[in-house]
Amino acid sequence: MNALSHNVIMADRKKLKSANGMYLGSTGSGKSFAAKRELINVFLATQDRIVIVDPMGEYSPLVRRLGGQVIEIAPDSPHHINPMDIEIGLNDEDSPLSMKADFLLSLCELVVGGKDGLQPIEKTVIDRCVRLVYRELALGLEGAKMPLLQDLYEELLKQPEPEAKRVATALELYCTGSLNLFNHPTNVDLSSRVVCIVLKGLGENLRKIAMHVTNEFVTSAVHTNYQNGAATWCYFDEFHILLRDPLTASYFVAVWKMLRKKGCVPSALTQNVKDLLASREIENILDNTDFLVLLSQAQSDRAIIAKQLGISEHQLSYITHSNSGEGLLFYLAAILPADSYEDKGVYTFSPYQVLPVQVQNTVASGRDRRVNPTKTAYMVYYRDTSGSGYQWSQQALTRERGQEIVDAGAAVERRVLSVPADRSYITVEPGQTAESYTAGLRQKYITALVLAGAYVVLYAAAWCVVVWLKKEKG
Ligand SMILES: Nc1ncnc2c1ncn2[C@@H]1O[C@H](COP(=O)(O)OP(=O)(O)OP(=O)(O)O)[C@@H](O)[C@H]1O
Ligand SMILES: [Mg+2]
């Protein structure tokens, strides 16, 4: 709901250049609530699939009501995901077995630990064992069983190298030891339309491994859905907890860059802007995010965000001590990140002709606008005096005024910013840079939001539909 116009805001994230989204706000500002509202919308209005990574276990009731699958990963949980699961298709572009080997290598790296990680020989034996363990499945033999971690462990024990023993011993804890939760066949419905992975109450070691297995699951779900023509909306709540581990953090950087090409619509929710921007790599995540919900912010975070996004004082007032669910919404459909531009320097342009063009009639209102959707405008065309071929044009009030400008022939300086990816360019004031230009654009796209009241109504309406659908079915 727009705070100023009181209109409902409808936005399709999939239409953005990048559907990546972020919900930032201090604790209790309404991030999870806003994400739940969005995902109900996705559930009701589309056929898309939804994956939630939930470190607090607060999405379970909602997901259960939507008929989805809640998977609790914990030592005493009855739910199991087998990290060795693999789908070996016939015409896959990327080899699933190599990807699995890669995943299992990093899993062993986590398990073995230590600051040096795995040694080259250890990597070789693990890779060898992985291929042996999957041999029957890869050959498509009848009765071939999905392997478990235990099979990898036993295969490692059979190898002559002492290095293999070292890895096997480290794996033992997770196979026959007390942390054997990943040593079971998958007994949850991973193909459910809504899947929620709960990572609550895990110790440090187990959390890293659980995160790694979760990441693997999310990646493979996105790939499978993509092959079936469905998009996957992924929600990562309490994102700062997930970022603590470097392996997971680098995974998210990859999600932001690559998975979106596979129809993934990722959202990260966090109360901790400082941590988010602490590392240059993760900071990139924000640059590649075109959908941003900014809710009430702590004072220090507010300053950081204002600088990063170029928010004005007035706009800041919407995220200062605001109520739950109130804030700013960024929907940056048409804005290229600043680093997409190449600065070509300042050129001198002189006017050479006036031409009439049809432009959208934005001034007229009501009936007049409907009858005359376009109107004639007069553009004064400028060209670069050094012969580079760059052009610039500016609208004149009337044809006569335009002709006067051409006759006077006064030169104008403009900075040229080229966009190599599109082989196009724009011109800006000589004093501007790509950064200040895009910051200015962002500013224009910020919309003030008051979600609260109407949100609750929407939420209630969504529930009624869900309950009614259930009744119809039953
Ligand atoms: N749009 C809204 N309208 C009315 N109340 C809301 C709205 N959004 C959130 N609230 C209220 O604020 C409370 C906190 O919201 P929520 O749990 O989403 O916060 P959060 O930002 O996720 O906090 P945390 O960082 O602690 O997880 C909710 O229980 C709800 O009562
Ligand atoms: Mg929350």
**Domain containing residue 418: CATH number:** 2.40.50
- C-alpha 57 to ligand 2 mean position (Å): 10
Residue 448 lies in a domain: no
pLDDT digit string, tens, across residues 425-471: 889 999 998 888 877 776 666 665 555 444 545 566 667 677 777 77
**Do 108 and 124 lie in a common domain?**
yes
Q: Which atom of ligand 1 is nearest to the CA of 326?
A: 1
pLDDT digit string, tens, across residues 3-22: 777 778 788 888 887 888 99
Q: Rounded mean pLDDT of 321-336?
A: 78
Count how many domains the chain has: 3
Closest CA to 163 of 188, 127, 137: 127
Residue that is last in its domain, among 182, 207, 233:
182
Protein residue closest via CA to atom 9 of ligand 1: 30
**Do 43 and 157 lie in a common domain?**
no
**Do 259 and 406 lie in a common domain?**
no
pLDDT band at 282 (very low <50, low <70, confident <90, very high): confident
| pTM beyond 0.85, yes or no | no
Instruction: Report the distance separating Cα 320 and Cα 186, nearest Å.
Output: 46
**Do 200 and 311 lie in a common domain?**
yes
Residue that is last in its domain, among 150, 182, 214:
182
Instruction: Report the distance separating Cα 433 and Cα 341, nearest Å.
Output: 9
Residue 89 lies in a domain: no
Write out the residue range of the structural domain in which residue 228 sits.
Answer: 13-74+189-325
**Domain containing residue 125: CATH number:** 1.10.8
| Residue where the block lists tokens 């690559």 | 258
Report which bound ligand comes closest to the CA of 324. 1
Whole-number average pLDDT of the chain: 84
Residue 422 lies in a domain: yes
Q: Rounded mean pLDDT of 112-130?
A: 86
**Do 137 and 162 lie in a common domain?**
yes
Residue 90 lies in a domain: no
What is residue 334's predicted lDDT score, i.e. its pLDDT?
Answer: 53
What is residue 1's predicted lDDT score, i.e. its pLDDT?
Answer: 78
Q: Do residues 396 and 354 lie in contact, with contact meaning Cβ atoms separated by under 8 Å?
A: yes
Sheet architecture: strand order including 391-396? 391-396, 374-384, 342-360, 412-419, 424-428
**Do 307 and 251 lie in a common domain?**
yes
Which of the 8 DSSP states describes residue 434? H
- Whether ligand 1 lies within 6 angstroms of the CB of 31 is answered as yes
**Do 206 and 308 lie in a common domain?**
yes
**Do 137 and 265 lie in a common domain?**
no
**Do 175 and 193 lie in a common domain?**
no
On the question of pLDDT at 367 being above 80, the answer is no
Other C-beta atoms within 10 Å of 286: how many? 19
Token pair recorded at residue 343: 């600065």
Residue 208 lies in a domain: yes
Q: What is the DSSP string of 106-174?
A: HHHHHHH-SSS---HHHHHHHHHHHHHHTHHHHHT-TTPPPP-HHHHHHHHHHSSSHHHHHHHHHHHHH
**Do 402 and 362 lie in a common domain?**
yes
- Whether ligand 1 lies within 6 angstroms of the CB of 26 is answered as no
At CA 328, angle to CA 195 and CA 61, rounded to 5?
25
**Do 21 and 116 lie in a common domain?**
no
Q: Which amino acid is at 89?
A: G
Q: Rounded mean pLDDT of 283-293?
A: 81
**Domain containing residue 199: CATH number:** 3.40.50.300
Rg of the chain on CA atoms, in Å = 28
Ranges 11-25, 121-135, 277-291, 373-387: which has the least confidence = 277-291
**Do 207 and 233 lie in a common domain?**
yes
What is residue 309's predicted lDDT score, i.e. its pLDDT?
Answer: 76
Which residues are CB-neighbours of 432 under 8 A, at least 6 positions away? 415, 440
Q: Rounded mean pLDDT of 228-255?
A: 86
On the question of pLDDT at 278 being above 70, the answer is yes
